[in-house]
């Protein structure tokens, strides 16, 4: 798989991926470069309101307005994604490096949480804040994809900012059709089947 195509796409954990950090996860790839890949897990909401971590941003956070566990790396740091009109990029918002693969995500970018909320927050149509991130060194993710641990699929804005993140894994698989749609009903514990 050509690594340069992953920015703005989803990595959906295959049922065989049982590592606690990534089990049934849906990862949005934020940056994919020669030296590695960075993404955030979209379906791990925490019970911690955004306002308790980054004051004044809770009013702009998409429901549920809680922090999300973005991944096992750098859990003491935050990454924020926001949707804004790309032709009117507000200060503190930057489109993803290399762009995104389709018009559905053309307004998705990184949000600088140090920017004044009264300026940037009002310009955003959606916001999600993550504690930590998922990261792979050069070539590591390619090997995992080739081993069948991840499915690479297109992302929709609702995947990033929509409600009901707990059911995202099944919903993304189901909309792919075919064998992937069948996997959306894969039991959490196959031995109980």
Regarding predicted confidence, which is higher, 159 or 192? Answer: 159
Give residue-wise pLDDT tens across range 104-120. 788 899 999 999 998 89
How high is the pLDDT of residue 1? 40
Q: With bands split at pLDDT 50, 70 and 90, how would you rate the model's confidence at 43?
A: very high
HSE of 40, CA atoms in CB hemisphere, 13 A: 26
* pLDDT single digits (tens) 112-145: 999 999 889 999 999 999 999 999 999 999 999 9
| 135, 33 contact by CB (below 8 A) | no
Could you tell me if residue 187 is inside a domain? Answer: no
CATH code at 117? Answer: 3.40.1740.10
Determine the average pLDDT of the residues in 20-24: 94
Domain count, the chain: 1
Q: Is residue 91 part of a domain?
A: yes
Residue 99: which domain range? 3-182
Task: Answer yes or no: is 192 within a domain.
Answer: no
CA distances from 174 to 40, 190, 193 (A): 21, 18, 20
């Amino acid at each position: 798989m050509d690594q340069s195509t992953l920015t703005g796409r989803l990595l959906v954990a295959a049922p065989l991926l049982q590592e606690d950090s990534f089990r049934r996860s849906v990862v949005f790839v934020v940056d994919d470069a020669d030296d590695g890949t960075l993404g955030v897990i979209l379906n791990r909401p925490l019970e911690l309101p955004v306002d308790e971590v980054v004051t004044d941003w809770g009013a702009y956070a998409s429901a549920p307005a809680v922090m999300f566990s973005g991944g096992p790396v750098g859990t003491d740091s935050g990454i924020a994604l926001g949707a804004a009109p790309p032709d009117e990029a507000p200060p503190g918002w930057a489109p993803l490096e290399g762009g995104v693969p389709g018009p559905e995500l053309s307004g998705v970018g990184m949000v600088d949480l140090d920017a004044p909320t009264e300026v940037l927050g009002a310009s955003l149509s959606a916001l999600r804040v993550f504690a930590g991130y998922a990261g792979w060194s050069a070539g590591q993710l390619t090997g995992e994809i080739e081993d069948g641990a991840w499915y690479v699929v297109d992302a929709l804005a609702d995947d990033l900012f929509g409600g009901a993140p707990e059911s995202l894994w099944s919903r993304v698989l189901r909309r792919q059709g075919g064998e992937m749609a069948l996997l959306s009903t894969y039991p959490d514990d196959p031995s109980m089947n």
